[in-house]
Amino acid sequence: MRVGPVRCNMARFFGTDCKTMIGRLNHVAIAVPDLTAAASLYSATLGAKVSAPVAQPKHGVTVVFVELPNTKIELLHPLGEESPIAGFLARNPAGGIHHICYEVDDIIAARDRLKATGARVLGDGEPKLGAHEKPVLFLHPKDFCGTLIELEQA
Ligand code: CO
């Protein structure tokens, strides 16, 4: 993680003392009620490259990965009784953006820095291996403009 003053190509907007933490947008996750229809929407209608559905029983979801030139979209459908997105789909039956994932260089340093600001880290606060087998944490949507945020150590 870069914590000191770093050169920032947006210096004209943000000044020269950008203390950056989050990096690339890793993915946007969209919960969908019908995975086949959603995959077809992205491949046929939008003309994107989509994967076959991938069951991730440990995470309670089946995922279709949509590859874009600069990031990924993950179409999520509940898998199993305990799916973490079941409640979201019950509240949003047509589907909707579930979370966005930003990359960080050092997830422990990022967590500690966020907690020091009073931001709430979900669960027990310890990084878990996420869908890409990399350590992830989730941040409370009420602390981040109403958006559930996943941090992934890149
Ligand atoms: Co995610």
Q: What separation in Å is there between the alpha carbon of 11 and the centre of ligand 1? A: 30
Question: Does 15 fall in a domain?
Answer: no
Higher pLDDT, 113 or 130: 113
pLDDT digits (tens, 9 = 90+) for 86-95: 999 999 999 9
Q: What pLDDT does 97 receive?
A: 98
| Neighbouring residues of 68: CB distance < 8 A, sequence distance ≥ 6 | 48
Q: What separation in Å is there between the alpha carbon of 141 and the centre of ligand 1? A: 14
Question: Does 14 fall in a domain?
Answer: no
Q: What pLDDT does 8 receive?
A: 54
Spatial separation of the C-alpha atoms in residues 95 and 78, rounded to whole Å: 11
Q: For 116-129, what is the mean pLDDT?
A: 95
Q: Grade residue 4 by pLDDT with cuts at 50, 70 and 90.
A: very low
Q: Among candidates 132, 135, 137, 131, which has minimal Cα distance to 150? A: 137
Question: Does 11 fall in a domain?
Answer: no
Active site residue 150: yes
| Neighbouring residues of 128: CB distance < 8 A, sequence distance ≥ 6 | 135, 136, 137
Total of domains in the chain: 1
Which of 74, 103, 133, 150 is the catalytic position? 150
Question: Does 56 fall in a domain?
Answer: yes
Q: Kindly report the CATH number assigned to the domain that includes residue 53.
A: 3.10.180.10
Question: Does 5 fall in a domain?
Answer: no
For the chain, report the end-to-end CA distance as a whole number of angstroms: 11
- Domain extent, residue 37, equals 21-153
Question: Does 6 fall in a domain?
Answer: no
List the beta bridge partners of residue 99: 29
pLDDT reading at 25 higher than 50: yes
